[in-house]
Structure 1
Amino acid sequence: MSKTVEFYFDLGSPASYLAWTQLPSLCARNGATLSYRPMLLGGVFQATGNASPAMIPAKGRYMFNDLGRYAKRYGVPFGLPPGFPVNTLTLMRGVIGTQLHAPEHFETLLGVLFKGLWEHQRDLSDAAVLEQTLRQASLDPVGFQTLAADAQVKAQLKHATEQAVERGIFGAPSMFVAGELFFGQDRLDFVEQALQR
């Protein structure tokens, strides 16, 4: 029976980006399904009393150095977008709205936004930069903004974030395999082991 990796993420999390670069191939080689679970990391932090490691200067410096090491190991580009940490409220609403209402564009959109932030270091919280980034990828920026402004989409992102907290999530990325939680892109080896049981 095929297993599933539930991938809880926020585009503004650099560790979520690194996990995203690895999870599709990890799932493919283990015959597993990758299930994307967008959530709002700020909402998770607020609900759990957690905060970004970047808020503690020494820890933040170490974390970014460590993420750079992993990016080098994975062979993927990595850099911080201007104004980090990024306000991803509109981005995540657009992502979950696309997942719900235009799923055929979801994975393409996810790639464009993750790469826009962490490979090309674009400030996607700037509406003009976001519009240009979507247009360059032949995606519809007006449709994206319409979804991001939709009341039902907003409610769905809020619900998804609350559900994540109820499941014990306190940060991103978080992954579940057969109900077991794995936190952090540096735990992908444990995710793979869980798939092989």
Structure 2
Amino acid sequence: MKRITFYLDFISPYAWLAFERLPEALEGLSYSVEYRPVLLGALLQQSGNPGPVGIPSKRDWTYRHVSWLGHSLGIPLQMPARHPFNPLPLLRQALACSADGSVNRFVAGTLLRHVWVGGHDALDPARLDALAEALAPQLKPEMEPQGPAVKALLRSNTDAAAAHGVFGVPAFGVDDKLFWGLDSLPMLRAWLEGDAWFGSGWGASAQVPSGLGA
């Protein structure tokens, strides 16, 4: 059985779409998934990437694109009342349900639906209270959402993701391979099925020399 690490930040609409699509995309295969919350903003900063919301026209396109993808795929997706927003309260709430930095599918899905279903404000205090109540049975007794242990887990997850080459979410790590984005799910499946292309194509396709500055 292959073990997949799913790196996600609840601020990402593509993470929500990939979360919903993953079971269907990998149907029939033997695998397990650990969901690892990471701080997307820190990963973007480390890679010098402003992200789609840093470019106004790209921001507009991204919101239209994910809304259409939700419609096309039959996945409920309504843009939250404000976006982007500070995802730290949600990331910390999730990791208060973890002892090792990974969360189960119920926790990940509860947080993602909180943001992406209904078009509400993700940081509305009353909704955050309701979210905490929904996740209360999942909380680890020694973990407090605003406590140092939870904050340390988030830093550790984000640093480990960066060390493995993660530059955005959703990203999927399996064996020594990293797959990025919703549209990488067919490629991820091909790896799990033993597609022969990976024997040469994976390494060779990344060896093209840059023509910039030549």
Kindly indicate whether the alpha-carbon contact (under 8 Å) linking 1:112 and 1:134 is maintained by their aligned counterparts in 2.
no
Alignment of 1:51-70 (within 5 A): 51-70=50-69
- Report the CA distance between 1:138 and its aligned residue: 6.8
Kindly indicate whether the alpha-carbon contact (under 8 Å) linking 2:80 and 2:116 is maintained by their aligned counterparts in 1.
yes
* 1:149 corresponding residue in structure 2: 146
Kindly indicate whether the alpha-carbon contact (under 8 Å) linking 2:70 and 2:77 is maintained by their aligned counterparts in 1.
yes
Instruction: Identify the range of structure 1 (92-101 vs 178-187) with the bigger mean alpha-carbon deviation.
Output: 92-101
Tell me the number of residue pairs that the alignment of Structure 1 and Structure 2 aligns.
193
1:7 corresponds to 2:6? yes
* 1:170 corresponding residue in structure 2: 167
- Report the CA distance between 1:134 and its aligned residue: 4.0
Local SS of the residue matching 1:100? coil
Instruction: Identify the range of structure 1 (124-133 vs 148-157) with the bigger mean alpha-carbon deviation.
Output: 124-133
| Structure 1: segments with no counterpart, 5+ residues | none
- Report the CA distance between 1:116 and its aligned residue: 1.5
Instruction: Identify the range of structure 1 (109-118 vs 3-12) with the bigger mean alpha-carbon deviation.
Output: 109-118
Aligned equivalents of 1:24 and 1:124: distance in 2?
25
Aligned equivalents of 1:116 and 1:190: distance in 2?
29
Aligned equivalents of 1:138 and 1:87: distance in 2?
20
Kindly indicate whether the alpha-carbon contact (under 8 Å) linking 1:48 and 1:170 is maintained by their aligned counterparts in 2.
yes
Kindly indicate whether the alpha-carbon contact (under 8 Å) linking 1:6 and 1:35 is maintained by their aligned counterparts in 2.
yes
Aligned equivalents of 1:142 and 1:194: distance in 2?
35
Aligned equivalents of 2:156 and 2:56: distance in 1?
32
Kindly indicate whether the alpha-carbon contact (under 8 Å) linking 1:8 and 1:37 is maintained by their aligned counterparts in 2.
yes
Aligned equivalents of 2:188 and 2:135: distance in 1?
34
Change (3 A) 1:140 1:177: closer
- Sequence identity percentage: 29
Aligned equivalents of 1:111 and 1:80: distance in 2?
16
| Structure 2: segments with no counterpart, 5+ residues | 195-214
Which one has more relative contact order, counting CA pairs under 8 Å at least 6 apart?
1
Aligned equivalents of 2:35 and 2:7: distance in 1?
7
The higher radius of gyration belongs to 2
Aligned equivalents of 1:28 and 1:99: distance in 2?
27
How much is the aligned-residue C-alpha RMSD, in angstroms? 2.5
Aligned equivalents of 1:5 and 1:159: distance in 2?
18
TM-score (ref. length: structure 2): 0.80
* 1:131 corresponding residue in structure 2: 129
TM-score (ref. length: structure 1): 0.86
Aligned equivalents of 1:54 and 1:48: distance in 2?
15
Aligned equivalents of 1:57 and 1:13: distance in 2?
17
Alignment of 1:1-197 (within 5 A): 2-100=1-99, 106-135=104-133, 137=134, 139=136, 147-197=144-194
Aligned equivalents of 1:142 and 1:182: distance in 2?
30
- Report the CA distance between 1:126 and its aligned residue: 2.7
Aligned equivalents of 1:81 and 1:67: distance in 2?
12
The structure richer in helix per residue is: 1
Kindly indicate whether the alpha-carbon contact (under 8 Å) linking 1:134 and 1:141 is maintained by their aligned counterparts in 2.
no
Local SS of the residue matching 2:113? helix
Kindly indicate whether the alpha-carbon contact (under 8 Å) linking 2:35 and 2:108 is maintained by their aligned counterparts in 1.
no
- Report the CA distance between 1:82 and its aligned residue: 1.3
Local SS of the residue matching 2:36? strand
